[in-house]
């Protein structure tokens, strides 16, 4: 099965775009692909509209892999109230978006339908995740900001030594 590594095939003026503002680091602009993972995009936008992410942190950062945020507890164990179905191939969905550098995807537990609010952005090509996690968009601006965040010093549990705070995420389209 071939996964799409080139996000340009999914870009459209009809797709929602959001801006992730990170205190002291800059911004990352993301385009979300409703045609790939509609429930995931709907959930993410609902959380944005309710200002759920404002003030949360990137609690897990692994250089050469990804940055992960969206946990209100900041521990990797929390989430929003609603769990969503995992829109990925191994869970019966035709989501062929690759986890290439710049992809945004939903974090989850071993339960394929446990995603809620935690997300991660790949700072490297992480194709080994293809088919097992719900990729739902891509960075369209701000890869330099992604690189800066991915390079922060972390402890043995991949938690940044200094909080990396999401000021807010806002819709821009």
Q: Is residue 3 part of a domain?
A: no
Q: How confident is the model at residue 1 (pLDDT cuts 50, 70, 90)?
A: low
DSSP-H helix ranges across 50-172: 143-150
Look at residues 163, 165, 168, 164 and name the one whose alpha carbon lies nearest to residue 54: 168
| pTM for this predicted structure | 0.96
Q: Is residue 2 part of a domain?
A: no
Q: Is residue 122 part of a domain?
A: yes
3-class SS at 39? helix
Q: Is residue 108 part of a domain?
A: yes
Residue 6: per-residue pLDDT? 87
Token output for 167: 């000021």
* Residue pair 58/68 in contact by the 8 Å Cβ criterion: yes
Residue 14: per-residue pLDDT? 95
Q: What total number of domains does the chain contain?
A: 1
CATH number at residue 100: 2.40.100.10
Residue 121: per-residue pLDDT? 98
φ, ψ of residue 38 in degrees (nearest 5): -60, -45
Q: Is residue 6 part of a domain?
A: no
Q: Is residue 4 part of a domain?
A: no
Domain range spanning residue 120?
15-171
């Amino acid at each position: 099965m071939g996964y799409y590594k080139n996000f340009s095939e999914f870009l459209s003026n009809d797709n929602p775009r959001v801006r992730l503002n990170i205190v002291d680091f800059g911004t990352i602009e993301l385009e979300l692909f409703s045609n790939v993972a509609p429930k995931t995009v709907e959930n993410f936008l609902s959380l944005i509209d309710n200002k759920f992410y404002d003030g949360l942190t990137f609690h897990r950062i692994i250089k050469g892999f990804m940055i992960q945020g969206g946990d209100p507890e900041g521990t990797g164990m929390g989430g929003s109230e609603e769990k969503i179905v995992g829109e990925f191939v191994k869970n019966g969905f035709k989501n062929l978006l690759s986890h290439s550098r710049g992809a945004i995807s939903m974090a989850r537990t071993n339960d394929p339908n446990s995603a809620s609010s935690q997300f991660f952005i790949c700072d490297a090509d992480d194709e080994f995740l293809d088919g097992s996690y719900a990729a739902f968009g891509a960075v369209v601006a701000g890869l330099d900001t992604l690189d800066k965040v991915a390079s922060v010093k972390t402890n043995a549990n991949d938690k940044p030594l200094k909080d990396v705070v999401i000021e807010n995420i806002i819709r821009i389209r």
